[in-house]
Amino acid sequence: MDGNGRWAKQRNRPRIEGHRAGVQNLQRILKAIKQEKVPYLTVYSFSTENWLRPEDEISGLMKLLDFFLKKYTRDLVENGVRLRVIGDYKKLPRFVVEHLDRVIEKTKAFTDYNLTLALNYSSRHEIVSAIKRCVTKFKDKGVDSLDWNDLKQFLDTKELPDPDLIIRTSGESRLSNFMLLQAAYAEIYFTPILWPDFNEENLRDAIKFYYEKERRFGMTSEQINEQIMTGTVLKQQKP
């Protein structure tokens, strides 16, 4: 959800106003996601690198996160949306952690719609931590038996499907340490639109972009078509 600061700068407003507009937009996009019947949404909310920002901006971001949770917890419950967190969120301020834990507990029984916040998240850190835990488990078997299905059980996203579609706003064309392993076969949609201005129509454009792609997963077009004809695989799946 990139571009909050530039959105504020274009309007001669403090950066925190851009983040506030970004939080408000997240609520709009959440409603649109449900209308599109997309069951999983993960938003990159705060990276480990974001601690390098000015202290007053970080403090404002934490207060905004707490505000979002207070204001929209009822909406999440009423709409049956499960909240998860990936990343080392326990290092956030205590008032944020306690509130997150309460909402996670309140929504844990829901299955149809899932919102995941990436907080204090770093994909590289996630990978290193997963390898350490995985090697410890496999030390008796030997790491030669280790495969992707084993490793992914130790990632923060072990309860989530790999992303089908990644949307990056604000004109930047990089993943910025987000789900580097999980994104191996994701379609990536880059848009110059700043996050606070990214609306429901823009979301539908991104989903349309996804449906227009032929996802090969390393296979040739001929192999894909053969599997489609035999019913082994669907040409496209819902993101």
Tell me: the pLDDT tens digits for 2-41? 999 999 999 999 999 999 999 999 999 999 999 999 999 9
Instruction: Give which of 103, 30, 16 is closest to 63, Cα–Cα.
Output: 16
Looking at the domain assignment, is residue 202 inside a domain? yes
Q: Kindly report, residue by residue over 192-216, the tens digit of the pLDDT.
A: 999 999 999 999 999 999 999 877 6
Residue 227 lies in a domain: no
Which residues are marked as active site?
2, 50
Domain annotation covers residue 217: no
pTM recorded for the entire structure: 0.88
| Within a domain: 100 | yes
Token reading at 140: 């008796």
Round to whole Å and give the CA distance between 186 and 54.
33
pLDDT at 114: 97
Would residue 219 count as lying in a domain? no
Q: What is the DSSP letter of 178?
A: S
- Residue 216, in any domain of the structure: no
CATH number, position 40: 3.40.1180.10
Q: Tell me if 110 is assigned to some domain.
A: yes
pLDDT > 60? residue 131: yes
Residue 136's Cβ-count burial label (10 Å; 0-12, 13-18, 19+) is exposed
Domain boundaries, position 148: 4-211
Per-residue pLDDT band at 171 (split at 50, 70, 90): very high
pLDDT at 81 over 90: yes
Total of domains in the chain: 1
Q: 138 pLDDT band (50/70/90 cuts)? A: confident
User: Is 158 buried (19+), middle (13-18) or exposed (0-12) by CB count in 10 A?
Assistant: exposed
Please write down the HEC assignment for all residues of 98-135: HHHHHHHHHHCCCCCEEEEEEEEECHHHHHHHHHHHHH
Find how far residue 27's CA is from the centre of its chain.
Answer: 15
